[in-house]
Structure formats: C-alpha cells, structure tokens
Structure 1
Amino acid sequence: MEYLQALILGLIEGLTEFIPVSSTGHLILVVDLLGFQGPEGRVFEVVIQLGAILAVCLVYFQRLLRMVLGLPFDQGARRFAAAILIAFLPAALVGVLAHSFIKSVLFSPWVVSVALILGGVAILVIERLSIRPRYHEVEAFPLRLALGIGILQCLAMIPGVSRSGATIMGALLLGVERRAAAEFSFLLAIPTMLGAATYDLYKNWSHLGVEDGTLIAVGFVAAFFAGLLVVKLVLGFISRFGFAPFGWYRIAIGSAMLALLSLR
C-alpha cells in the first residue's frame, strides 16, 4: 500500500509542479488524506520533485546544452546563466535560514488550504490587470528582472503558494510575456529544486533506510513521466486559456479542504 501511495504522490507531483497550483501543497494535502507514512523530515515530498525537474531538463536539453557550450564565448549565454543564478540565490538563502521553521510550522494542511485560496484570488486579480509585456525572450532578461523574480519566488516557501505561481505571476507583474514567464519558471526550477532536494537529503540522510529510498524512487519515476507530459502541454494551454482556470481551481480545492478539515 505504501508503494501505491508513493506512486500516486509522484503522479500528483509531476502533474502539479509546473502549473501555479502548488505541487508541495497538493502533496501535503494528499499525504494527510492518505495517511502516508514516508521517510522522516518530509524528505519524500521534496526529493521526488527531482523527477519532474529531470523532465524539464529533457524537454529543454538542447537549449541548456547550447547555453553551457556557449558560456566561454557567447555573451547571451553568460547573461542567461547569470540570470538563472541570480534568480535562484534569494530562495536558496531563505531556504537555508528558515528550513526548520518551514518544515515544522508551515507544512500544515491548514496553511496550505488558506494559501491555495489566497493565491487563487491573486491569480484572478493579476489576470485582470492590463500589463503591457516588455520582455519576450528568457535569454534576454536583464539581471534586475531576474533578481525581482527570484525575490518573489521566496513567497513559495509557504506551502500552498506555489513556486511556479510565484515566479510566473510575479514575472507577469514585472512585464514579462506569458510564455516567457512560464519558460523562465520552468528553467529556474532546475537549480531551485535541485538545491532544495540536496539540502533535504543532507539534513535527513542518517534517518533514511533502504525502504525509504525505494519509496522515493517510485515517486521520482512517477513524477518524471507525469512532469514530462505536463511540460509539453502546459505552454499551449496557457497561451490559449491564460491562468484564470488555475486560480478558480485553487480556490475550489482550498475551500473544499478547509471544509473537510473543519469537520475533523
């Protein structure tokens, strides 16, 4: 039963990592509903996100390879790499300093439910704003824009806010075109989630056993295949329907969970 639960959680992670509905928030809620007893320290919920990140690396492999190979002589590649690094640093700093508080206090179904609702309202409000896009290509983002997106990503330390939601909607507020905002969020996820998973494994390594590793592996593989599907489809969906459907979804799920939690 634990392996089936790990499979379900991995699929949920992959399906929600790259859309603004909070994959961590969904995992916390479903773990609570299933009564899943995973590895100590909530390490399962964090590390399986690497499966979805691997999917992004595969989809954007050629672009990432061009960037790496172009670093020695291509100024655009160096600027792109610097933008990703600068956007990553604020969350890395806050994550290290507030790691224990986040895990012990904020990983709560109540916190997630409220954050889902408030984030949904924020998405609907931002979607109604008429902000003229000024930035259309992620490779051309100025460093100050990358830093602003990185600072806004820190909001996602609150489970339920959504890392992709904070970065995408924050980018829209800063004048980034929809598709470019989503792509930058996808690419920024690579160092962000790799750093979070590495730090979590470091903090909890002594508590992990063989069975824990197997559960994580099941969730990882499921997240990879689900993430691969979503990354290929989500840009087309966003271009056609915008972000409002995700806002309404967040409000509905958050409200339903608050109602369910209040009945316990």
Structure 2
Amino acid sequence: MPIWLLVVLLGVVEGLTEYLPVSSTGHLILATELLGFKASDWEAFNVAIQPGAILAIVVLYWRTFRDVFIGLFRRDAGAWRFVRNLIVACLPAIILALLIGDYIESLLSNALVVAWALVVGGLAIFIVERLVRPRECGGVQNLTLRQSLTVGAIQCLAMIPGVSRSGATILGAMSIGVDRKTAAEFSFFLAMPTLSGATAYFLLKHHDRIAPGMYGNIALGAFVSFIVALVVVKVFVATISRFGFTPFAWYRIIAGGAALAWLAAR
C-alpha cells in the first residue's frame, strides 16, 4: 500500500472516531495493524494529526468561543464559569500524565488492550443508558465545580487506549446527571485543551520520532481528519439526540469482539 494512501486512511479514521464514544486511538492502532503496518512506527503520526480534528470544533462552535471571549472582557459570570469548568476538568489528566506518563505511552501500540477496552466500554454504555436519567443543565457554563472535576477525573480512564476520551467524558457527565447535549458539548470543548496539551507534550518529548519527510504526511492526515470531523460531529449530535448512545455500544462490542478474534487467529 502506498504511504500516502495509509496517511489518508488514518486521517479518515481520526476524523471519524475522535468525537465518537468509540476511541480514536484504539481505532488508529487497530487500523494500522490491519493494514499491515506496525502501530508503534505510526504512533507519533497518529498523535500529530489530532490538531486537525481539534480545529473542526473551533470552526463548528466559533460563535460559542466568540461569545465566551467577549464575555470574559465584559466580566460575564457565565463566560468565566465556562472557562473555569474547562480548566478544572483538565487538571486530573495533567497530574496523572506527569505521574505515570511513561507507563501510559507503553500501552499506545497494544492492540489487545484496545480490543478488550472496546468491549468493556460498550457494556458500560449500556449500563449508563439504562440506569441513568440525566437532567437538563442548560449548557457547559451551568455545570458546577464538582461536576467539572468529576468529569475530568473520569476522562483519565481514556489514557487506556480503546476506552475513548469522548466516551468517558460524555458517559461520566451523564452518570452525574448532565443531559446528553451538554455532556457531548463539554466533551467537545474539553478536547481542545486536553488533546492540544497531550499532542504538544508527546511531540516535544518524542520529536526525534518524526523524520523530516513526514511533515507533509502529517499535514495531509490532519487536513483529512479536519474535513471528516466537521461532518461527523454534526451527525453525532443529531444521532444521540434521537437514538442515544446504544448504537455506539453495539458497535464497540462487535468491533472489540472481532478484533479479539482476529488477534487470536493472527
């Protein structure tokens, strides 16, 4: 397979899965292995193309960010609470990454961990959907400090490849009473500082893993993920509003089961 085609396919996978509760990292690892390449060789690339998906949220929610930015200068309480909630929710991941970052990185090319995490995560979605009855919150700015910190702590589970950052944050928010729409948007907004920080940290630490000729491929992969994520986020919000998260639970269990069978037979 030509390298440019692999780059495009991985960009599509990143854009498709970054904001869905199915684990983008897990899918990138499995996709790389399925296409006949070593996941460890493409680990830095998979991290480096994440800014493309991040930019999609900036474009889709630019009015929200504009209003928050203006509100900060006008000393609007809602704008300050919005920023406070994002900062507080980021703290647990930052602390944990500093404490056990090296161990987390050792899991980033483990396809077996991904497969099991997909299955367990699917079961977790079924449980939350069946047992939890979220209440309308009215937006990210209305979350309490405790709710934000709790979601941030649950987000740390996504350091295990296959768990899904978006899935952990959305289900975590719903489990403490946050409505689906607010939970999803909080997950989207939280992705920006979390993924940006994680990407910058990883690339600064492992810049030697990126060959000079790889930057063009990274740009292409990031662009593809940006375009795909623009479409996916809109469809995702419409899907969960109508069907909830059950379709993603079934997908995770089927995909994880298929991956386990493939790994066992390989």
The two structures share one fold, judged by TM-score above 0.5: yes
What is the CA-CA distance between 1:71 and the residue it aligns to?
1.1
1:110-151 Cα shifts (integer Å, max 9, x gaps): 000000000000001111114241523212111111000000
Displacement after TM superposition at 1:219 (Å): 1.0
- Between the aligned partners of 2:113 and 2:219, the Cα distance in structure 1 is 28
Q: Which moved more, 1:2-11 or 1:63-72?
A: 63-72
Please say which of residues 102-111 and 52-61 is displaced more in the overlay. 102-111
Change (3 A) 1:156 1:130: closer
Give the Cα–Cα distance (whole angstroms) in 2 for the partners of residues 141 and 112 of structure 1: 31
Matched residue SS, 1:249:
helix
Q: Which moved more, 1:186-195 or 1:95-104?
A: 95-104
TM-score by length of 1: 0.96
Secondary structure in 2 aligned to 1:35? coil
Equivalent position of 1:131 in the other structure: 133
What are the superposed Cα offsets for residues 236-258 of structure 1, whole Å, 9 maximum, x if unpaired?
11000100000000000000000
Structure 2 CA distance for partners of 1:259 and 1:40, relative to 1, 3 Å: closer
Shift of 1:43: 1.4
Aligned to 2:144: 142
Look up the SS of the partner of 1:159 in the other structure. Answer: coil
- 1:75-110 alpha-carbon deviations (Å, 9 max, x no partner): 110111010011011112212332221122353000
Distance (whole Å) between structure 1 residues aligned to residue 40 and residue 157 of structure 2: 26
Unaligned runs of at least 5 residues, structure 2: none
Q: 1:226 — aligned with what?
A: 228
**Aligned-pair CA distance for 1:69:** 2.0
Q: Which residue of 2 aligns with 1:28?
A: 29
Does the 8 A contact of 2:107 with 2:160 survive in 1? no
Corresponding residue of 2:45: 44
Partner of 2:170: 168
Letter in 2 for 1:67: V
Q: Which runs of 4+ in 1 moved over 6 A?
A: none
Q: How does 1:1-264 map to 2 (within 5 A)?
A: 1-36=2-37, 42-72=43-73, 73-133=75-135, 135-264=137-266
Q: Displacement, 1:57?
A: 0.6
Contact 2:121 2:249 in 1 (8 A): yes
Stretches of structure 1 lacking an aligned partner (at least 5 in a row): none
For 2:99 and 2:54, the matched residues in 1 are separated by 24
- Give the distance between the partners of 1:27 and 1:252, measured in 2 at CA: 17
Letter in 2 for 1:190: M
- Give the percent of matched residue pairs that are identical in Structure 1 and Structure 2: 47
- Residue 209 of structure 1, CA deviation: 2.1
